[in-house]
Structure 1
Amino acid sequence: MTIWSDLADVEIKLYYLDANGVKTRVLEAGNGEPLILLHGTGGHVEAYARNLKGLSENFRVICIDMLGHGYTDKPDQPYGIDSYSDHLLAVIQALDLSEVYLSGESLGGWVAAWFAAYHPKYVKALVLNTPGNVNNKPEVMAGLKASTLKAVLEANYENVKTRLEWLMYDKSQVTDELIETRYKIYTQPSYQKAVHNIVCLQDLDVRVKYAWDSAWCSKINVPTLLAWTDHDPTSTVEEAKPIQDMIPNSELVVIKDAGHWPQWEKPEEFNSIVTNFLLKKETRVLSEK
């Protein structure tokens, strides 16, 4: 199975848009209510290649290369959660969307939650997918920073493969095609410079400004699902509970036999969980009107 065989019979659009001066790569499919998917640290739109077909049956699925990532522009500045959130707002406005469903994996989940707290009028519901290292463990931050820098600054097949295998419970899910896709991204001269801005959130003095906290999480006022896994290398299932307590009326589901990329390792289950949650919430809202 390859990315393009997964997408062979899906009507997709790959294009660039101007998000407040940031040239941004976008991959989308479907015609329903908009669902924006955000990848994690060092990621890119291909992280959701196995989800476009299933999710586009019910939603207009919009995947973006986040600020400084993939083939999106890479301004020379530290990328804090507020910077990613501002870029997401610019994307939504460039697409002329009034309201969206929002789901993010790892860093993307963190950004999605922050965005919903500070720009609530744009968000209908949230799915936070392995939001990652919610307790700011120093060893996790150090490991992620080191492995990301090594994969980019010493880019070769083995280093990129190792970085991708860290994401997976089933290491066989790391395909040659995925490695090659990421290798080409990481060897861009602009990415070699931008990676230092990307990993700044793995430094505690930067990260603490955006740490998960009820002060901002309590502002999230939309239906929220936490999608955890039983083999996430950054956080245990038990560590989901504080986040669930911080976000009002949030729900928790655990995807078994998956690591940090359940959307890739368990695409059918992930698609079903997201679809059922969002459609259930939509039905509930309509019934209350």
Structure 2
Amino acid sequence: MADMTSSPLISVTELAAALDSSRPPVLLDIRWQLGGPPGAEEYAAGHLPGAYYVDLDRELASPPGVAGRHPLPDPEVLGGALRRAGVSSDRPVVVYDAGPATSAARAWWLLRWAGHPEVRVLDGGLAAWRAAGLPETTEVPPAQAGDFKPVPGQLPTLDAARAAGLAREGLLLDARAGERYRGEVEPVDPRAGHIPGAVSAPTTENLAADGRFLAPAVLAERFRGLGAADRRVGVYCGSGVTAAHELLALEVAGFRGVALYPGSWSEWSANPDNPVATTELPG
């Protein structure tokens, strides 16, 4: 576990001050939810001043297919979307969503995977911003000409075989709701259950009642209790979105080098040769 001197989170107070500074961050609105409504509609109805909307389905993922419902994006598509929003290598970026940081975490992870050095997530998202009485706007800022060019592969990832191996020899965390992990329900993907050997760690347990992340020490205790202290760790979810939220929580807690399985359950369950488990393992 590394030190926690630099948090990947930013509070609404810190963000408000940063936006009024000589080096304001680029703001990216990543609102999205499975099954809609489209985040673009919510963005049009009101967003943080100066924020640019980025579409998770079209710009932060490739089209669904054999690699899952949200495969990693084409670097050219990702780079084009980020540059239009003014993202440059020498300017900080802050990403936010409606509140729980699920989709914002996907953008945070992707930007770092693509090599951006300074990305943070607004803790509590738009809900926290509104609760603080801070301003919103419906004005859409003009397209920019940022210079950021993605260099993929700066963070570790897993394919199906390596995910299976990590479940046997390290720690593979399943970030979905417990009922999906246990195979009691499966609303989206072909089969119910989980990757054999994976441990249930729902992302909802990373958050306090107000939608902000738990304190670093509390999160660290949670993940140590799941066995993350002295093992190689990987995370998956349904399609690689909420798994990024788990990775964010792990980083807040001080854990580094955790790998993401981008294809996640959507890829795993679509292959009939992959085994499925429904028995819960103790953390």
Using CA pairs under 8 Å that are at least 6 residues apart, name the structure with larger relative contact order, 1 or 2. 2
Normalised TM-score (structure 2): 0.34
Q: Comparing both structures, which one devotes a greater share of its residues to helix?
A: 1
Normalised TM-score (structure 1): 0.33
Q: Comparing both structures, which one devotes a greater share of its residues to strand?
A: 1
